[in-house]
Amino acid sequence: MDIGFLKENFLSRFGENSEQVAVFFAPGRVNIIGEHTDYNGGYVLPCALSFGTYLLIRKTGDDQLRFASENFEGTWNLRLNALGKQGKTAWVNYPLGIIDQFRKRGMNPDGFEMLYSGDIPPEAGLSSSASIELVTAFALNALFHFGMDRMELIQLSQQCEHEFIGVKCGIMDQFAVAMGRKEHAIYLNCKNLDYEEIPFKLGEYKLVIVNSNKPRGLSASAYNERVMECQEAVVNINKSLTTKDLGEITLEEFRMVEHLISHPDVKKRAYHVINENYRVKQSVHALKAHDLKLLGKLMNASHNSLRDYYEVTGPELDALAEAAWEIDGVLGARMTGAGFGGCTVNIVHRNAVEEFRKRVGEQYHKKTGLHADFYLPEIGDGVRSL
């Protein structure tokens, strides 16, 4: 990204003043494995990406907040004493939700101007929303000296999603965006936020992300329904065991109590979460043993479970995964993110990448009529000042 060009655009939009323009960056994230386990108190294995969201910000000394984006339509001029949600789907709700969280904590920023620019595909399941949230929170915390640490900013951003956006998300996205480290995945216990940085060096292989270009409206999707189904499973299981989250239950324990879950769909959701949690733990062992073939098999199993038991893949993501599995040199392929559209993550031998692009793209278009986009990101660091 050309920061000089972005600064020129900032000045052309907002004009000159005596205050310096500060620049911040927050990455997107991809989850290698561990889907829909985070809000169930389970384990996940995400990593930060080399692409993300850039934010240029400047104090103004007045009571106005001015927002603009290079990626989304609409500019917003709002007064500090008249902030509120701007429709259901406006991108500006993410920074507004962050400001709302600061103000609830008695931290009140003065006026400022913000210009966002990012290279994360929107609505692709790569955490463009968490990237916007964290870059906003990190910038305001630095600019106005609020004194919050990264963990507090992570939790503030999650509360923004819950209370302002209306999505009962787990904490994985915000955590990965804030705490990412180059060439490492994050083995995160979403129950207590204990984490371990796991070296993730692919050697002869590449991480390839494929965007289905089937947008997903997360807050309007079945996401919150899945959350409630998992909560129902816990209530049923608690007739025999005492647990707060599905992530606390072992496979052996689940086999003893699954008969207590009467609704077949609720039972399937719980079955996925508990098995997926186990797959994350196995994946960490695979990475530590440099066993990428095992990691790939676990990724494939994860996709099948998300298709058959959690029912969040859909024909587009299934078509991408199935096309990838047919290609020599592909170790693993699965949907990543909440599902209902978005992306797959694939581990592909570097010599097979071009064939992968060609064959997956052709088969996907033939099955769905859509054109996929392909990305080869590096694994990067978390939110920071530039």
What domains, with CATH codes, occur in the chain?
3-198 (3.30.230.10)
Distance of alpha carbon 28 from alpha carbon 128, whole angstroms: 6
Give 384's strand partners: 25
Distance of alpha carbon 169 from alpha carbon 268, whole angstroms: 20
Distance of alpha carbon 78 from alpha carbon 116, whole angstroms: 16
Q: What angle do CA 7, 180, 118 make, to 5 degrees?
A: 30
Q: Which of 38, 100, 173, 245 is catalytic?
A: 173
Mapping DSSP to helix (H, G, I), strand (E, B) and coil, where does residue 351 land?
Answer: helix
Q: Are 65 and 54 in contact (CB under 8 A)?
A: no
Q: Which token pair is 274?
A: 């508990």
Return all residues near 337 (Cβ < 8 A) that are at least 6 apart.
31, 35, 124, 125, 126, 127, 216, 343
- The whole-angstrom distance between residue 133's C-alpha and the CA centroid of its chain comes to 11
Q: What is the pLDDT of residues 226-238, one digit of tens each?
A: 999 999 999 999 9
Distance of alpha carbon 368 from alpha carbon 316, whole angstroms: 7
Amino acid at 147: G
What pLDDT, on the 0 to 100 scale, is given for residue 17? Answer: 85
- The whole-angstrom distance between residue 323's C-alpha and the CA centroid of its chain comes to 24
Q: What angle do CA 124, 128, 129 make, to 5 degrees?
A: 115
Computed over every residue of the chain, the mean pLDDT equals 94
Q: Which token pair is 161?
A: 């999603």
- Tokens 């001015």 correspond to 66
**Would you place residue 294 in the very low, low, confident or very high pLDDT band (cuts 50, 70, 90)?**
very high
Amino acid at 218: L
pLDDT at 168 over 50: yes
Q: What is the pLDDT of residues 49-84, one digit of tens each?
A: 999 999 999 999 898 999 999 998 878 899 888 788
Give 47's strand partners: 30
- Return the closest-CA partner of residue 34 out of 282, 341, 383, 340: 282
What b/e string do you get for 362-377 counting C-beta neighbours within 10 Å, with b at 16 or more?
ebbeeebeeebeebeb
pLDDT at 220 over 70: no
Q: What is the pLDDT of residues 297-316, one digit of tens each?
A: 999 999 999 999 999 999 99
* Helices (H) then strands (E): counts for the chain: 11, 12
Distance of alpha carbon 369 from alpha carbon 315, whole angstroms: 11
| Catalytic site includes residue 2 | no
Distance of alpha carbon 271 from alpha carbon 268, whole angstroms: 5
What pLDDT, on the 0 to 100 scale, is given for residue 210? Answer: 97
Report the percentage of the chain scoring pLDDT > 70: 98
